[in-house]
Chains A and B, each alone.
Chain A
Amino acid sequence: MTPFDLQQWIDKTTQGEVFATYKGAITADLISNILNLIENKLEGMNEDLKVKKKVFNVLVESLQNLYHHIDEPPAEEELDRNFAIFILSKADGRYKISTGNFVRHDRIKMLRDRMDQINYLSRDELKSLYKLILNNEEFSDKGGGGLGMIDIARKAGNKLNYNFYPYNEKYSFFSLDVIVSDF
């Protein structure tokens, strides 16, 4: 198996019309700056309000997911401590939000199970699960219970398209693509 090549993944993901790419540490200020930048861009594009709002919502949840749950990247890559990649692009008239970050192998199962469950559920079932977690579960300031992922799937109206690329004995690279439906 060929080892995971970060640059190759970036090249593959930044095809089509790219509105924003970011590679580095995810901080609260950075999130503010990205949101501001993208909001201005969408504003100037005469995009449908509904689509604009969906894109913005998915962006917020995706970036804040990274902010709250990120693992330290492998030392070999000499990357920032909160390293992640974020790309907003458009292909076939639909917006795609891609994120990538390194995760320890021991977290993969939990993430995979959670995303598979979300992908398996219907729109109405997702709504019920969201309400159940919102109302019943104690969760920390970091969010929790996977509410962020459920919200992303609900707002986007699409499946979570994820991949885990083995990197070394301790880490994999976790990529997540979300396409925002324009229904």
Chain B
Amino acid sequence: MEPLSIEGTPKTPTVILDAEKGKIEIKGRSIPENSIEFYKPVVDWLEKYSSEGPKKTTEVIIQLEYFNTSSSKCILDVFKKLEGVHKNDNEVVINWYYEEDDEDMLEAGEDYQSILKIPFKMIEIED
């Protein structure tokens, strides 16, 4: 399966989806006005990854500095696809990074964690 890589902009994150390595990375800012448009290829890729036989272990790195409410639903869609991967007896861990003292970003991660049936690891980035 072809990897998908999207370069970040001031309003959209860097995305690296690599089926060979079983690695999913979303980093940077996610504050576009139209998030559905941005996340569509990401969600489609994950749908394919999930159905075409994912790696035994998928490592997910979410390291967002900011995200808007328009993105929040799309990020949940991303996680729901990964939940599907997890359900089929594969190991999936979501590593949720937040900057030191950024309690809002930690809480946002915990909000997702409480909605989803998938392991989360909260990781503080120290200065």
Contacts and interface: CB of A to CB of B under 8 A. Distances in A.
B11 A32 contact: yes
Interface size class, chain A: 20 to 34
A142 B73 CA distance: 11
Contacts, number: 69
Nearest to B103: A50
Contacts of B69: 61, 143, 147-148, 150-151
Main secondary structure of the interface of A (DSSP, over half): helix
A147 B110 CA distance: 17
B66 A64 contact: no
7 contacts: A32-B10, A35-B31, A49-B101, A56-B66, A60-B68, A61-B68, A64-B33
Interface of B: 10-11, 31, 33-37, 66, 68-70, 72-73, 76, 99, 101-105, 107, 111, 114-115
Interface of A: 28, 31-32, 35-36, 49-50, 53-54, 56-57, 60-61, 64, 67-68, 127, 130-131, 134-135, 139-143, 147-148, 150-151, 154-155
